[in-house]
Structure 1
């Protein structure tokens, strides 16, 4: 059986979860940990993304103002502490993993067992129920994982000490959220959300961990645990949803109230769809079900994105209604509420079509969803009140993925472009009135975008690491230059010594500063060796003292030059020349004089292996508004560079404060631009760069439409 050596890679030592010296773990175990951490982080993000909607709906349905206030306060507290809970969860996870087999993650719940109050007992019961459900469903896969971990670690691992067990994961979540100022009711809701978004897919985590260990030869003979079907997964999700709120699914009372509140704003636009039919006083409104059938007919004739076809939904509906009127012998029109919805969704897609935060090619694709989204809005007005609505989320996810898209060498055959095109075509072909198709396509797109995001995040992290390394190298170079200039500038010295110090010993100094820092013994010893060398080539009043120091000096020089792999021939030549210099120093004026000397008249500037080939670091600029905008930029914010033939979209991946550098990467995580804060502010003022709004597409469009309607009403 293959066993990994118990060595921790350098990268793991700097992991943000490993803040204190911890026991060494097998590399294979670190791989299991990192893959698990990635899935857990994504599950937590989904939890918090949906917690707001859940608490809002509960506040809306609350029986009294006290309960309503309770849920609203919980929403606010959760928003403020979301990041700290996510970070705390992962820190506890990393720490427990480092002490695998030694820590009981739920030990804090067992403390003071006899004195536990009713709230603690309810919380413990909720956790026990969650754990029992996971074990009944995925217990075999977890048992296999525990056996493999025991074999790898060569020790006994009790079930409650497995850092990937459901009890452990629940414990991390409870500990991370201990400072959350919410009551028991809200904590139980969060636990149910934890079960829905983190524990529901835990079988995937166990399956990948088992597969990784088995592939490395750890109990490879164990038969693989059966995988859950997608249908079972959906049923689990529905069951958890039902325990959270009985009428949560399909409830759109908040959406109904929202739509009713804005119908007054939409009134001025009434009569523009099928105006000839509205002009007839006796025209009878068609039902929503009939309107949906007409829209289902029309969605098959939506032109392709690249076709220049003026497809006007109002005109198309008018023609169909005229046919219906002729066939039935009665003038038919669209009901007022349905017309208001058509106008509202039409305004949303007008905004999306004009939204230059999205690339033009993907904009023209997204607006083809006009009819399917209109049908969803007619069927379920919860589209406007629930951020977790599948159709709304699908639009938002596509918009988020599209913001960084640019036409590359593959053009429109880019994987994202093709995936969005397939999704939209599937909806146009297959969507009638069953909104579950949106949920299915959302799940598919999330899997695609998460895989892509995972790859891109790895590249972005490498870019950040490279930038931090480059900044450290620059700082080290400046320190070494300063040390050399303090000792050499303005002096007449043997050329061979100056060349060795500038070309070779500078590398010894750089290595010592980078590896161990400015205050380290290695750095101080390298400086002391340089000082001793310079003193040893001066005329000596006491040659005997020089002879005592020379052996130690030569040893330190040889070890230092060997550490930077100086060519052996060059090393031999230098020491031969140094011997002559020492003889001259001992002999004074009577020594050999044939030694070339140079005046170090200017500052020494060391060459660096690689300078940035990106945008130049611009001179300071005093435009405060743009500078404030730059200072507010968060990591992940997108900009568009307009000074090239083709606009370039890139996002902020690193802010290096020590050297005032803002580093930007493209959608795939590769570095493409770099500015100082002042330089980027100047580029913004000159119109060479513009900031992109990467907020949620649906919310952005809806807010803009409502603002426009309110302004029209005022005027």
Structure 2
């Protein structure tokens, strides 16, 4: 227990000193930090999920080439962990990173004396781990050098520090690698397997992490954190001149903020042109005098009244907009433009009204947003216009709260199946929209709060769908894998046998046994477990030992080795022969031959003992019975309801199908005029079979690559891009206004 110091004591209580020295982090900074944290770890886990099958294939290839059994086992164990526990593994990595990051964000210091405790000897395992983390960190930092210079500076500025070393940045590669290693350790405790998995994660992230850091830099720029810092803001996918320019009024905009970066300048040009925009003063007969609006007229105040009901005109009449009901899609801003309210508006205000009206026209034409969601967006027309009048950053900032809310609503389209669950989700969206309609006056923060709620809803639904679909598709995935293994089994098995026999002087009887009889056992193992299965590899190893055992043994060491392994080898061979129900006569002939081959292998003279004979007629008579079980197994695995084949054409549609990743959505259209959305849940790396599930992750179907490409080619399938509808709309809007002005 600490003793309290006297009031006049000259002794400094170091614990109290450390508490007072800590920087108090504001809620705004914590929010920015959490946003950056989520961008990094969510982006990284998405990349790793997308690359999981490629990592598995790489591990299998490395295991095949590895000369040492221990190394091969590490690769196989890592591949098995990825194959069976990928979701658990990535979830553990995400949790580990968030915990570490939160400790930093909340300034949780190490316990007193922790630094002293760290001055201890490091054992070989810890040293090896340190080297691996250092190597992974260096590789990632090298590929993200430009982005990290800017990110280190912005994080230092955000935390009120003069500088921030590269390894102290909680968003840096070292913090990420250490968290990934910790998460891997929660699922896989074996040291070498953890190292193998970390190396694979590092390689998968090497080419993708720079883009994630670019998005974090853009997010910090939008929050005003060193917006003029040029380093690291450049997009690799765009020319260097595509940086966002400051909008009128000197407010710096986010890098890559096109098309909004110069849109307001076009508005001002249009307003100065006079008569170009319907609704501008002078644009209607009589100008603004017909209804006697005074000089103190405020369009924003009028919008506030229209948001809650009607507006009182100077002549005593009332003007009310058509109701934007949840069941209708109507651009009420067009009615506003034709109203007497607009006759007293300034030219620039009239341009802004026209711009927002055109924005909603584009959104309402967006085919990827269903009508019942468009109806919810339609309810927000007056609040959105009012917000745009109050905060003109709406036109230039892609991450503006109002635009975030509209985008969040549109993104939820994939989670609205036409059933009870979809209707309940639509009701929840409607409640959020109603709160904005009732509560918005001047502060656009209400849109930010609503956007956060909707985004959280989308994230929760995505996560729930991931878990539901992964569980629901597992049976179909297993069936497809087994069917593909059945097709590949003869090729794979005979390849293993040929490699075992390559350049080995083996009697024809032994070759025939391996290719005719032992191949049945290997095929059965491959169908059940695949190439990495324990039984398959055990029987392959038995085959290799068998081939070695019948080779001539010129020295005593080789003969002693044969004596040691022979009892176990014969035991495994008899068990294998029993598994495939080899006829007794064939079995007896094989083992009699094997005895002579082993005797010949250790004979000091060159005169071999002749092998026992069996007539070809006996073999032909017995072989069909031995193969019957294998033929039945293979036919069962392949199944009878195979998908019809499609013509293999390599074009842009095939490329689009190949580019699909797990979690992408496709809209399938049918002859009766109906359509349904399907989410891609799994892609076979062997035959490019795509497995889809519906919006609830329940019903599933599979389709081949070229058949899917053919549907895309015919318009029977359309890729659903979960993009920002407001960004897309502003791009079209910018082109429209440029056409009005005759700007190229």
Q: What is the TM-score when the length of structure 1 is the normalising length?
A: 0.55
Q: How does 1:224-623 map to 2 (within 5 A)?
A: 258-264=263-269, 270-272=277-279, 279-280=286-287, 282=289, 284=293, 286-298=297-309, 303=323, 305-308=325-328, 312-315=332-335, 321=341, 333-402=344-413, 404-410=414-420, 412-415=422-425, 417-458=426-467, 473=482, 476-482=485-491, 506-510=523-527, 513-516=530-533, 520=537, 522-525=539-542, 555-557=571-573, 559-560=575-576, 598=624, 606-609=634-637, 616-621=644-649
- 1:133 positional shift: 6.8
- 1:352 positional shift: 0.9
- 1:438 positional shift: 1.0
Q: List per-residue Cα deviations over 1:98-136 (Å, max 9, x = no partner).
A: 9x9xxxx9xxxxxxxxxxxxxxxxxxxxx9xx988722x
Q: Is the 8 A contact 2:141 2:148 kept in 1?
A: no
1-structure distance, mates of 2:371, 2:95: 48
Counterpart residue number, 1:78: none
Q: List per-residue Cα deviations over 1:663-702 (Å, max 9, x = no partner).
A: 4444455684544433222112222112333321100111
2-structure distance, mates of 1:614, 1:384: 52
- 1:336 positional shift: 1.7
Distance 1:406 1:609, change over 3 A: farther
- 1:287 positional shift: 1.9
2-structure distance, mates of 1:242, 1:43: 17
Q: How does 1:118-157 map to 2 (within 5 A)?
A: 134-135=106-107
- 1:708 positional shift: 3.1
1-structure distance, mates of 2:623, 2:151: 80
Q: How does 1:8-87 map to 2 (within 5 A)?
A: 42-44=38-40
2-structure distance, mates of 1:245, 1:401: 31
Counterpart residue number, 1:187: 152
Q: List per-residue Cα deviations over 1:403-449 (Å, max 9, x = no partner).
A: x245343265242x232222112112222222111122122223222
Q: Secondary structure at the match of 2:635?
A: coil
1-structure distance, mates of 2:409, 2:422: 16
| Larger CA deviation: 465-474 vs 503-512 | 465-474
Q: How does 1:676-691 map to 2 (within 5 A)?
A: 676-691=704-719
- 1:453 positional shift: 2.3
Distance 1:641 1:192, change over 3 A: farther
2-structure distance, mates of 1:379, 1:446: 24
2-structure distance, mates of 1:439, 1:698: 15
2-structure distance, mates of 1:277, 1:665: 55
Q: Is the 8 A contact 2:482 2:528 kept in 1?
A: no
Structure 2 portions without partners, runs of 5+: 1-33, 45-88, 123-132, 162-168, 187-218, 229-245, 254-259, 311-319, 498-513, 550-564, 594-611
Q: Secondary structure at the match of 1:515?
A: coil
| Larger CA deviation: 470-479 vs 642-651 | 470-479
Distance 1:177 1:399, change over 3 A: farther
Q: Secondary structure at the match of 1:374?
A: helix
1-structure distance, mates of 2:475, 2:460: 23
- 1:466 positional shift: 7.6
Q: Secondary structure at the match of 1:345?
A: helix
Give the one of 638, 643, 653 matched to 2:670: 643
1-structure distance, mates of 2:468, 2:577: 35
Distance 1:583 1:613, change over 3 A: closer
2-structure distance, mates of 1:473, 1:706: 53
Q: What is the TM-score when the length of structure 2 is the normalising length?
A: 0.53
Distance 1:193 1:399, change over 3 A: farther
Structural RMSD (CA):
6.3
2-structure distance, mates of 1:694, 1:395: 13
Distance 1:446 1:132, change over 3 A: closer
Q: List per-residue Cα deviations over 1:339-392 (Å, max 9, x = no partner).
A: 111111111111111110222222222222211111110100101112221111
Give the one of 690, 713, 728 matched to 1:700: 728
Q: Secondary structure at the match of 2:489?
A: helix
Distance 1:181 1:301, change over 3 A: same
Structure 1 portions without partners, runs of 5+: 1-37, 49-89, 106-126, 148-155, 162-168, 214-236, 323-331, 488-496, 533-548
Q: Is the 8 A contact 1:665 1:672 kept in 2?
A: yes
2-structure distance, mates of 1:428, 1:366: 11
- 1:462 positional shift: 6.2
What is the total number of aligned residue pairs between the two structures?
A: 512
Q: List per-residue Cα deviations over 1:28-57 (Å, max 9, x = no partner).
A: xxxxxxxxxx99862426899xxxxxxxxx
Q: Is the 8 A contact 1:654 1:662 kept in 2?
A: yes
Q: Is the 8 A contact 1:508 1:560 kept in 2?
A: no
1-structure distance, mates of 2:151, 2:566: 75
2-structure distance, mates of 1:680, 1:96: 37
